[in-house]
Amino acid sequence: MTSSTISFEVKSQLAKLLATENISVRRARTQTASFDVTSRVLTLPTWKDMSPVVEGMLVGHEVGHALYTTEEYFKPIQENPKLMSYLNIIEDVRIEKLMKRKYPGIRKTMTEGYKELNEKDFFGVQKTDIDSLLLIDKINLYFKAGYNCGVKFSIGEKIGRAHV
């Protein structure tokens, strides 16, 4: 058994314990991690340079979907598919806040994991004028990469008068 196999088995068991159910965990050649709410499958990407902290952050995030995202979440998207990216971002913020409340120790893993991804420009914004981003993209970046990513909200954005 290789060390990566052992690591995957440990991460898989951790995901099942955190999710408090026997979810399936698999690896696949995907751009990011995901959780299928219906089939209860957590998919982790096979990035060649994924650190244990980033993998732990991905597990924590996707377990958040296992615990808190229901099939009800998809109803507004089915009615209006244009809402999908907006609802995904808001749902990600919501489930991560709930995970940090339920498992306070995961806060550090998520902070360090997103910091590492931001340093590698995973979000593709290092050469972007962050002030020119749409409000929803700023919200996503701020809640994933943290206040150190350079996102600053205008007064209009803070009081809800921004253009999205």
pTM across the whole model: 0.86
pLDDT score, position 163: 54
Helices (H), the chain: 3-19, 52-68, 75-79, 84-102, 106-119, 135-145, 155-158
pLDDT, block means (10 residues), the chain with 164 residues: 62 88 95 95 94 94 96 88 90 96 95 91 85 89 81 84 55
Question: What percent of the chain stands above pLDDT 90?
Answer: 49
Spatial distance between the Cα atoms of 3 and 139, rounded to a whole number of angstroms = 37
Find all residues with CB under 8 Å of 128, minimum gap 6, and list them: none
pLDDT score, position 54: 94
Sheet holding 24-28, edge to edge: 24-28, 41-45, 34-36
| Amino acid (1-letter code) at residue 116 | E
